[in-house]
Amino acid sequence: MKLKRGPAAENQLRPASLITGPDPVVFFSPSKTLPVSVSGEKCSLDCAHCQGHFLKTMTPWAEVLEQGTRDRRSFLISGGCDKEGRVFLPPEKDLPGLAERGRLNFHVTLIDEDQLEIITPWAHTISQDLHGDDRVIRKILGLEKSFKDYAASYKRVWSRARVIPHVLIGLGGEEFEGERKVIKLLGNYPPPAVIFLVYLPLIKSPLTPKKPPALEKVINFLGWAKEELQGVPMVMGCMRPGGKYRTELDNQVIKLGFSGLVQPSCMVQSPIISKECCALWDW
């Protein structure tokens, strides 16, 4: 059965009394959500940021259809991008059957009206990457696009579906000018929640930073974002450096009042535990 929603119906903020305060924090260990790549390990961009690295950890679309879904409750559907920066989507005819097996979270970047028309009837959530730095978009991602294109794409989705934006901190360096542009956009078009990621160098490229952004600068930026997006739950997502950096980061975002952490390396009193993707939580 297709999901029925009015424009932006799922992007309304919940009452402040339900989401303010540091407790309860949701800890996510998403073993019940299956990450799926529609394009397998292929990506037409082969950009300096990823070069297909993240696709290797995902289950190819064909295997999901052939092997079934075992005990999964939901699906994170993504994949490589075409030359225009749009994530490849699965065949429309396959979506009704998969939607009967669990909730669908489509993780996209730029998306046009035709693509949105295909996935909106079946999407519980649309996760969307947002980049605000034109240099990152053109030099690192390899797209002849700009922040204006990402903003237009986000507003397009925001008006039609439940959208959870993802903000990657530090891909363009430690000034975070692009990230601040994204936060300002979200302030005008508030989502149910926002997921933050921290740049983790995986590919050797002369275009990308050699190391993660300084932890102190990341914390300061997140504190500023928290003030800018008052009332919007903030989540620390799965991509972030490990070791001492991760432990300190996780402890600091808890102090800032973050609502959730994926695969946390810290402890809090009586957290809520979820085994599905953080974007699928009822923010």
Query: Partners of 34 in the beta sheet?
Result: 75
Residues 67, 101: contact at Cβ < 8 Å?
Answer: no
Phi, psi of 269 (to 5 degrees): -80, 125
Q: What is the CATH number of the domain that holds 128?
A: 3.20.20.70
Q: How many domains does the chain have?
A: 1
- Indicate the pTM of the whole model: 0.89
Within-domain flag for 71: yes
Within-domain flag for 136: yes
Residues 157, 116: contact at Cβ < 8 Å?
Answer: yes
Within-domain flag for 110: yes
- Looking at residue 64, what is its pLDDT? 84
Residues spanned by the domain of 25: 14-280
Within-domain flag for 1: no
Within-domain flag for 122: yes
Within-domain flag for 174: yes
Q: Enumerate residue ranges in the chain where pLDDT < 50.
A: 1-10, 12-21
Within-domain flag for 39: yes
Q: How many CB atoms lie within 10 A of CB 204?
A: 9
Q: Which long-range contacts (CB under 8 A, 24 or more apart) does 146-152 make?
A: 147/178, 147/181, 147/182, 149/110, 150/109, 150/110, 150/182, 151/185
Within-domain flag for 8: no
Query: Partners of 196 in the beta sheet?
Result: 167, 236
